[in-house]
Amino acid sequence: MNNWQRWVQAPNTTFFRRALFQIHLWLGIALGLYILVISVSGSAVVLRPQFSRWFIASEVSTQTGEALAGSELEARVAEVYRDYSVTNIVAPTRARRATYVALERNGKESSRYFDHYSGMDLGDTYPWQVRSVEWLTRLHDDLLMERATGRKVNAFGGLLFLLMVFTGVIIWWQGRRRWKEGLMIRRNSSHSMLWQLHSVLGFWSLLLLLIWGITAIYFAFPQPFDFIINAMDNDLEDFDRPDGWLLFLIDMHFGRFRGSWPVLPYIWIVLGLLPTFMFISGFIVWYRRVIKKYKRY
């Protein structure tokens, strides 16, 4: 039986498979913290638009009655924010939009939305909930570094992540007779439930994992992708570019579903945690099979 036949029939007996397993294992351990940070922050960022709608009350509740304006508006604003110095009042430019009020106290600037119909304060224009998701966005996009540096680090992380994904795909192959075991959970499997979940979820989420890794590289180094798009463009003088596939990958990365089902962003939050589960499950399997076994001796 030559090497190819051994790979097809019993890949576990080949040196190539054992070597790839070690590469996959140590990549997973080395990238563990990075994967956790990117996965969790990425899931939270999916709800970034919703957070703005939920926690920023930028619209008046009703337009009944007469809206305050001029000196009446200034007097009511000064009364409501009596503990502050009002530095600016910006009247709304469209219907239902609230009045923007800039404030200052003890040298600290802030801003609020004000209902010019009811004469009531509506809340902070930049509440802590929105600040938190913006912080998570910067963590996910740039690792809280300078933009160019952070994205280059993410590109390097994306490259290693792709290497881990590719090695995982090859390791997933269990031989011609057993390959179907990697497609579904089986009660009579010789592998533990956690091992099966790691293998099955890794296979069925392969496309999404590849998209995350590829787009992480694109955000730092778009030039190779632009070269491919230009090579696909037969007419460089028009304004149409064959970049729909790239825009699709970017939308998939961030979970942008314009005009789609409202439930999709929440599904994407769960999917965004797949790398976290893959790392934790892989670590536990490794711990049980290697570390725990080693401690017995």
- Give how far the C-alpha of residue 249 lies from the chain's centroid of Cα atoms, to the nearest Å: 13
The reported pLDDT for the residue numbered 295 is 57
Judged against a pLDDT cut of 90, whether residue 174 lies above it is answered with no
- State the chain's maximal CA–CA distance in angstroms: 93
The reported pLDDT for the residue numbered 4 is 80
pTM across the whole model: 0.85
The predicted-structure confidence for 27-85, as pLDDT tens digits, reads as follows 999 999 999 999 999 999 998 888 999 999 999 988 888 899 999 999 999 999 999 99
Residue 218 CA to residue 222 CA, distance in Å, equals 5
- Residue 171 exposure: Cα atoms within 13 Å on the Cβ side: 21
The reported pLDDT for the residue numbered 107 is 92
- Give how far the C-alpha of residue 220 lies from the chain's centroid of Cα atoms, to the nearest Å: 16
The reported pLDDT for the residue numbered 246 is 92
- DSSP code, position 59: B
Residue 83 CA to residue 85 CA, distance in Å, equals 7
The reported pLDDT for the residue numbered 292 is 60
